A and B are shown apart, each in its own frame.
Chain A
């Protein structure tokens, strides 16, 4: 790692073919608005971009065999009256902080500042802050709800008009700074990948988004891109985060909502509060009582782990300074755990199903219904047999 400016934290760093851990370390070593320049082989570009995303960088842009990545997306969102307008040819773009821009978007001061930075030069138009709101930032900042990802993703899916598959014969490479472009027909063009588009789409992306047509040295083969409308129907907004490593449930196992019937009232209250407050996760300290060598056994942890096994929750070890484990729990498939801090994508449909079950109380599961039916049949058979025997005895 070549540190360019040494202070408490560096402003710029240079890395060559870094590992995910190198990028995490670099992220921690950088000052709040520092940046890193990464050199790597063409074949490494995809994995380096993914590692940079997971480490928390934003605005990655590929230039030949070097990648520039920036730090600064952490922190609270306050309103300063700014808006941003995407200037390219796509119907929408997704940035590295999961803002989905389709046309003009109101943004918080932090995002506005990032958008006005060198990272997005030429790709966005950002309005100046409102002086009265800007003046409030120091002492009385106005909160801003940046969390419109789910709603924006839904609106976009409804607005797009997928067309019959076009002949896609032109390899194109989108170098950034956005993580993803969604074209007007729903075609998804991901940063740092070689994808096949129609000549018309490719030329438009080249002219207005800086994409490279038939680039030399990029690893192939080019892929046929996915379509956002199709993926949204299947996976909801989470499909936009598909490149991040997931911690999926074992294949073939469906969530067992019956497990919710068995949880104690306190855990039910906690889950309902999570839903009511639209929070991403809750945290528990302690070990599962079923774990023999675990310290600080906690019944709550045991109950939450049971819900993980049932496919209702997912868990993520959050670590701590003390010896007691601290675990983060979110609803199934909502945790995107990469190398850095976990991120979350809410599944409205799954949450609605959990809420219905929690609010409607215990249901008879299919298994229970089958057992009951067998019991009734068995009891009927025993009764019939008994009656027959009784009649036989009377007949004698």
Chain B
């Protein structure tokens, strides 16, 4: 497909060669097990400590702690299970646009998980959240930037509500870290989860940036990560993540306005060509992420057609209970099933050019017109 046609940066970002180089270099140089007592182990431990410290400094939260995991799915599981397993009756307030790695709590603890509805703009109202909090609320879990719509929550306001009520706030920050200018020390969360491959690091690296204690190990059998996560630490992965985060963060000043401009260009072209399109994303959302709903079409079919034309995009629907299930975050914004089934996500990044956006818009217009004619 090539970098020209890649429009799925929200799924994964092409890794920075510098990060992969760092991974390789450190894997060869500090190959010891950080838990070993000999010099090779000590060298690996020093590299791990250095990468951890550097990572926290880069996210602007040098006083926080970082629990390294295999990715954001594990990190979200660790935060939410810790909260729900801490007592037998504590309740979770979960955002209705949560990622499946947090949504699982609805199935595992259906009677203890309550939903926080988003508005038609995809945002959670702080006042509404305040009305939902109770003495039994063990944790509030929200998505900082939604992976399907790119809507960015007002974390300061929502965190302030939770802080006032003394309820820990878990934030799924996967789509925000490395894409939005952030200083995490300024944001009032208890746990903030991330995944390195979403900002140009390698797969298999993620974690929880924690402001407070309260986590309990879900993977046992080793004392790593202060007993919170068994398993030999991915030293090189974290070091590579730090390189990638640094490169991403440095590029944001130029990239955020550039990607917003490209997103506006794409939105304008599609709205002009296809008047009944619904735009689920917001101009101030994740830079370069645009979500469209084409009523009465199927997002997956649009994705397949676009792939045949050389463009990689994604859809939010999935198979469930014997039928296609539409995008949950889009449904949470008040769309009908027929509208939400036709949702596609287009996400841009550092290799996206204006020329490629124009070609994508032209191809998408053709595909939608064709599918409408053949529906």
**A interface residues with partner B (beta carbon < 8 Å):** 6-9, 28, 30-32, 71, 74-76, 138-139, 141, 270, 273-274, 277, 279, 282-286, 295-297, 318-324, 326, 328, 341-342
Contact = CB atoms under 8 A, between A and B. Distances in A.
Nearest to B367: A283
B289 interface: no
B363 to A, nearest CB: 6
Given A28-B1, A273-B373, A279-B374, A323 B308 contact: no
Contacts of A76: 309, 359, 362-363
A285 B301 contact: yes
Interface of B: 1-5, 14, 17, 298, 300-301, 303-305, 307-310, 314-315, 317-319, 322-324, 351, 354-355, 358-359, 362-363, 370-371, 373-375
Given A283-B301, A320-B300, A341 B2 contact: no
Nearest to A137: B355
A324 B321 CA distance: 11
18 contacts: A8-B351, A9-B2, A32-B5, A75-B5, A139-B358, A270-B374, A273-B374, A282-B374, A285-B298, A286-B324, A296-B322, A296-B323, A297-B322, A320-B300, A322-B315, A322-B324, A324-B318, A324-B324
Contacts of B354: 138
A8 B324 contact: no
B2 A322 contact: no
Contacts of A283: 301, 304-305, 371
A90 B131 CA distance: 80
Contacts of A322: 300, 315, 317-319, 324
B2 A71 contact: yes
B2 A30 contact: yes
A283 B370 CA distance: 11
A321 B363 contact: no
A274 B375 CA distance: 10
Nearest to A73: B310
A9 B14 CA distance: 9
A273 B362 CA distance: 21
Nearest to B319: A323
Given A283-B304, A322-B300, 20 more contacts: A7-B17, A8-B14, A9-B3, A31-B2, A32-B5, A74-B2, A75-B5, A270-B374, A279-B370, A283-B305, A285-B300, A286-B324, A297-B322, A318-B307, A320-B300, A320-B315, A322-B317, A324-B318, A326-B304, A341-B307
Contact of B4 (A75, A319, A323, A326): A75
B315 A321 contact: yes
A279 B373 CA distance: 11
A370 B374 CA distance: 37
A286 B315 CA distance: 15
A9 B323 CA distance: 37
A115 B2 CA distance: 20
Contact of B303 (A286, A297, A320): A320
Given A30-B2, A321-B300, A75 B322 contact: no
Contacts of A319: 304
Contacts of B317: 322
A318 B359 contact: no
Contacts of B318: 322-324
Nearest to B300: A320
Given A270-B374, A273-B373, A138 B319 contact: no
A337 B317 CA distance: 27
A76 B365 CA distance: 12
B304 A31 contact: no
B3 A32 contact: yes
Contacts of A31: 2-3
Contacts of B323: 296
A148 to B, nearest CB: 18
Contacts of A321: 300, 303, 314-315
A136 to B, nearest CB: 11
Nearest to A9: B3
Contact of B324 (A74, A138, A282, A296): A296
A367 to B, nearest CB: 31
A75 B359 contact: yes
Q: Which 3 A-B pairs have the closest CB atoms?
A: A323-B319, A74-B310, A32-B2
A263 to B, nearest CB: 14
